[in-house]
Amino acid sequence: MKEKIKSKWGISALTLILVVSSVWLLNFTGNDTPREFTITEQNVIEIKEEVQLDSYGFNVIDTQIEEGRVKRNQSLYLILRDLDVSPQTIYEINKKSKGVFQSNRVNPGQRYIVYKDSDTSKPYRLILHDNALDYVTFEWGDEIKVTTGQKEVTKEINIASGVITSSLYESLVEKGNNILIANRLSEIFAWQIDFFRLYPGDNYKLIYEKQYVDGKPYGIGDILAAEFEHDGRTYDAYYFQGDKSMGFFDSEGNGVQKALLKAPFKFSQRISSSFNRNRFHPVLKRRMPHNGVDYAAPIGTPVLSVGDGEVIEAQYRGANGNIVKIRHNGTYTTAYLHLNGFARGITPGTRVRQGEVIGYVGKTGRVTGVHLHYMIYKNGQPVNPLNIDLPPSKSIDASERSQFEKMVEDLKRKMENDRVESVASVIKEE
């Protein structure tokens, strides 16, 4: 459908051209020498185009907008057919959709918007949302077009804080905060805090970006600053991106990210047996060193590599059962025992990334039940994974330290005031 453009008084574009041309010609003298012409309110016709764009960028003047939800067993074909779109047009739309949209991926509850001409009530555009952010636009008329798009995401700076009574998740829910914050905090402080062993009284505060789509909460963006007090010790992290430094750094400018994660799981798992040089072995019935930590996780739980490195062993080895051993650098090596199986591609010589799944919890080898036995070796000697002092990553580059310190000072002040100034609190995603 062609969009209508009118002047303030309804004159056509052609009439406008004629009027402007006449004014221009009248301002020439008889000898074709142009004389000075002053633009005033009396000799200028103000043109006002009737354009009103919606949140998708379409002009909705002279347009009826209807919204709906996909019903059970309703396909794109049925939606278009119910809009009195001809079978031939639907066929052409399906042809245009190839490589852009799969017509069989329409699920109950999906939101759609229909655009109709106000004069004829004939539909000419359909927008089908896959989720709150992503959508597909189908247009027909002079030309059939199928395109994808995304709604604009706005971000508002927010502060969240709380005290742990039973769990981080419950603390966030009690304050009405997004529980995704828990995952972000555990990722930031994974190298300093074992989030599987938080204590009542532990507390946190952070500044983060809250995302909105069409004015409705959508999710969370970046965490800009965070403080977490755990077991009487306070940890902090500030996100900084400069020309030479990028990532989370503590207030002293040291990299927050360590060489190894605190635990080889994404979610909390119970510790069934700790590091002990003189533990009574439940199977052999004698005292012997227990040079690792046992996690009593459900069978099949994904086991993560706690750091980047090279797999140096992935096999069944007697009492150890299925074992994966990873060399992270010249100092640190980790081992994961009694696995139910290995992740695809995990063989000696394979390079793995921090957080990559390397296997699954099992009960192979000499065990009394399902669990993971996790070990860290430092310079070839087993050390306690729960209290090892892990090395920091790179610090802020000296050339950017003053810029970083200014940023930290500003963010600290905001957290201390427990508020964020409303001015410039909303930013748009690039």
**DSSP at 217:** E
- 160 strand-pairing partners: 206
CB-based contact 322:338 (threshold 8 Å)? yes
Q: What is the pLDDT along the chain (430 residues), one digit of tens a residue?
A: 434 333 333 444 444 444 445 444 445 445 555 555 555 555 544 545 578 999 999 999 999 999 999 999 999 999 999 999 999 999 999 999 998 988 777 999 999 999 999 999 999 999 999 999 999 999 998 899 999 999 999 999 999 999 999 888 888 888 888 888 988 898 888 778 878 788 999 999 999 999 999 989 898 999 999 999 998 999 999 999 988 888 899 999 998 877 788 899 988 788 988 888 766 666 666 677 888 999 999 999 999 999 989 999 999 999 999 999 999 988 899 999 999 999 999 999 999 999 999 999 999 998 989 999 999 999 899 999 888 877 667 789 999 999 999 999 999 998 887 644 433 333 444 3
Q: Give me the count of residues in the chain.
A: 430
Q: How far apart are CA 233 and CA 231, in angstroms?
A: 6
Instruction: Check for a shared fold between 63-150 and 154-259+423-428.
Output: yes
Rounded to 5 degrees, what are φ and ψ at 101? -145, 135
DSSP string, 107-120: -TT-EEEEEEETTT
pLDDT of residue 9: 38
pLDDT of residue 361: 97
- 406 strand-pairing partners: none
Q: How far apart are CA 374 and CA 334, in angstroms?
A: 7
pLDDT of residue 61: 92
pLDDT of residue 8: 37
How open is the CA angle 53-54-55, to the nearest 5 degrees? 125
CATH number of 154-259+423-428: 3.10.450.350
Q: How far apart are CA 138 and CA 24, in angstroms?
A: 45
Identify the sign of the CA torsion 60, 66, 68, 70: negative
Q: Where are the alpha helices (DSSP H) in 107-234?
A: 168-174, 180-188
How open is the CA angle 265-268-273, to the nearest 5 degrees? 85
CATH number of 63-150: 3.10.450.350
pLDDT of residue 389: 78
pLDDT of residue 295: 94
Report pLDDT digits (tens) over 350-364.
Answer: 999 999 999 999 999
pLDDT of residue 415: 86
Domains of the chain: which residue ranges? 1-50, 63-150, 154-259+423-428, 271-383
Side-chain-side CA neighbours of residue 401 (13 Å): 8
CATH number of 271-383: 2.70.70.10
**DSSP at 320:** G
